Amino acid sequence: MSSRPGRPFTRIAAGLVAATLLLTSCGDGPDQPAAREVVLVTYDSFALPEAAAAAFEEATGFRIRVVTGGDSGSVLTSALLRAGAPDGDVIFGIDGASASRVLAEDLLEPFVPAAVGSGAVPDALRLPGELADLLTPVDTGDVCVIADAEWFAARGLEAPRTLADLTDPRFRDLLVVQSPVTSSPGLAFLVGTVAAEGEGWPAYWERLRDNGVRVRPSWDDAYNTDYTVSGGDRPLVVSYASSPPAEVVFSEGTRTAPASTVLVDTCVRQVEYAGVLRGAPNPEGARQLVEFMLGPEWQAELPLTNFVLPAVTGTPLPATFEQFAARPTDPLTLPADRIGAERDDWVERWRELLE
């Protein structure tokens, strides 16, 4: 899920994340020796699993320092510009739609954690070919259109259900999406429309445009500013299947059930990957961190820190996540090699239509 990342956080949660990042990014005091550290490069809305990070430091002696750089797309672009001389050791947040970009500048060192080879991570989450040795699947999620069910109920209106419904005049000026140029969920949603509409996807986006779709640069802009649950004027937004439990968790006890519902027929499967940066100052620490990200401590914290599903099979889920997170059974997908070959053309065509 920043483009993805952008997580389904409220403004309160975003503040908590910012505080976490500040703490994990600061250095030692002037009277303290520099601690051994491993630097994790990721997107702004990433929330460090703190208990797991403490366990990692205890087990390895390495403290995790988080360095952020905007949306996941921006983080990857910046990393590519610094390929071979990175400002960190591990990059996290690359998804399947953008994974092939790492090959352009020889960005990563090959590394396959033992958990991947053992079968603990489903083979379906691994990328094809050379990418399988460079990028480790850490979590999964589904990018979906979600609806403010309370907004629709208050007006006696039925919410849309499908991608086709979103072009219906009944839903004019109600949808906000993210740009695939700058946002990971925006790119995932574009890929989903290609999967659903085939060669007719540009015509679909023309219909969305003519029906008043609003395009925003990031998930945070769309969800935290424009979405009606956050006080905006759009009751339909591209977000995540895990947005409903996030609304409950971050309501500070004011909600026992979410306001939002997920349009499961619009969902696109998204996998997030981590990789060891070529030229990392601490390559050994980098490998240990990627390995640890598939360990039980890290995987178990993911649902309620970053609102994603663990990549490791059998990881227990918290009750709130089990109760309120949508679990699409047939999400939209495209082969990773096709996305890599055609992604840039799709984005450029989208820009011609929407910008």
Residue in 213, 238, 176, 249 with CA at minimum distance from that of residue 9? 249
Nearest-angstrom CA–CA distance, 10 and 246? 8
Note the pLDDT of residue 18: 37
**Per-residue pLDDT, 17:** 38
Beta strand 37-42 pairing with 108-109:
unpaired
- The residue among 235, 264, 255, 254 whose CA lies nearest residue 325 is 264
Coil/strand/helix, residue 107? coil
Residues of the chain below pLDDT 50: 1-34
Q: Tell me which DSSP letter residue 182 carries.
A: T
Buried b vs exposed e over 145-175: b needs ≥16 C-beta within 10 Å? bbbbbbbbeeeeeebbeebebbbeeebeebb
Domains belonging to the chain, first-starting first, are 11-140+270-318 (3.40.190.10), 142-268+327-354 (3.40.190.10)
pLDDT at 10: 36
Predicted local distance difference test score (pLDDT) of residue 35: 55
Question: Beta-carbon neighbour count of residue 62 at 10 Å?
Answer: 22
CA 297 to chain centre: 20
Predicted local confidence at residue 122, as pLDDT = 94
